[in-house]
Structure 1
């Protein structure tokens, strides 16, 4: 019975990937893929459509060059224990910590807390924690992100310098000690996540250009990992503007995070 179920699921994935406009698509596939990745992004990219479009093009190239498969979903309806068991990495490319089904919440929480073969890379909107669009805040996800709640953002964007703090972390391998990000919103939170997470990089608020009074007060983490969870995980705040894929440091961090999160060496 189990083998028939697995065959059915594999056939379903393959069939859906052939349908343009479906809720899941496969951007790179090989019969001997070294690992499988699923990425969630809102339908048509949501408010970050240009970033998502560039991300998908870049991910297609990286997947092809490194022999892994990546599938996309547009909402959390497909997510359950059996679904996640097929993937070594979950990328929250452009999706907030709300609009999740109860089944998806339970499965994802288990995936992260038990860490049985799966990792997570989250971007930007993954820390949009609070009451939004009529949804209550997901308390567990807030704890996963370091116990934070979203507070404010720089709506007009600002250029800033990011400083790498955990230079020996695998996600920071080959990344310069400091690098600039041209356009970002630089979210602030109700408190600093630092006491509850391992901070990998911070943004230097004194370098904001143009300057802004929307700040965390000096210590402003923008990349971190919650080492209390068994699954390898990293949150990367940057993830709004498509030009990030012209930023060598951002691309390097993203690529490092994929292979570290999946628990496989880069080919």
Structure 2
């Protein structure tokens, strides 16, 4: 198994990206898969992507691929390749409908970073099987332009009564998976802070999402 981790930004840039890249590389070392990290859009060609099982967009933002790169990524996924989106991936390629479908929802806004309660919707998934029914942690709680529930399988929601500034209401998904675009897609809105990438529960969440996208 080989994973391409892409973290190019043309909009907001998260300070946690280096910590995220280091954590994903460490997960690869400890769990026997190779992680290739890049911010070079030239990596997105049919020939280059053929060597990977799964592609992770780690807090990317804005337009990050040219037309050729878009075509290569879409073909990779349509042919069964896995995709993982982490946090800012939902702020990426707003004018490309396929990418919106692949991630599952588009970022709309967020309140300040603060503690909140995450409710586990399903425990029968490798990204959530290790978690307690309610997971309390600090992060940036993304809101989305639309609720993706009708098109995806929701794994985590956030309890808006547990923090200030929530705007999606009683059903506020944070992580989900689907197979709507060919290959398996996993997205988690978690991962804004550098500290996220040192949390054992968060790392297990990411590892489970990667394994699901790569192998099912």
After TM superposition, the score normalised by the length of structure 2 is 0.89
Counterpart-to-counterpart distance in 2, 1:229 and 1:97 = 21
The answer on 1:69 being equivalent to 2:50 is no
Contact 1:75-1:100 at 8 Å conserved across structures = no
The answer on 1:150 being equivalent to 2:107 is yes
User: How far 1:162 moved relative to its partner?
Assistant: 0.8
Match of 1:253 in 2: 205
User: How far 1:97 moved relative to its partner?
Assistant: 5.8
After TM superposition, the score normalised by the length of structure 1 is 0.73
Deviation >4 Å, runs of 4+: none
Counterpart-to-counterpart distance in 1, 2:73 and 2:62 = 11
Q: Which has the larger radius of gyration?
A: 1
Match of 1:36 in 2: 2
Pairs aligned (count): 214
Match of 2:136 in 1: 180
User: How far 1:245 moved relative to its partner?
Assistant: 2.3
Match of 2:69 in 1: 104
Match of 2:57 in 1: 92
Q: Which has the higher contact order (CA 8 A, sep 6+)?
A: 2
In structure 2, the residue corresponding to 1:170 is in which secondary structure? coil
In structure 2, the residue corresponding to 1:57 is in which secondary structure? helix
Match of 1:126 in 2: 89
User: How far 1:42 moved relative to its partner?
Assistant: 2.5
Structure 1 unaligned regions, length at least 5? 1-34, 132-136
Structure 2 unaligned regions, length at least 5? none
In the superposition, relative to structure 1, how do residues 42 and 145 fare at CA in structure 2: closer, same or farther (>3 Å)? closer
> What is the RMSD of the two structures over their aligned residues, measured on CA atoms?
2.0
Contact 1:171-1:257 at 8 Å conserved across structures = yes
In structure 2, the residue corresponding to 1:42 is in which secondary structure? coil
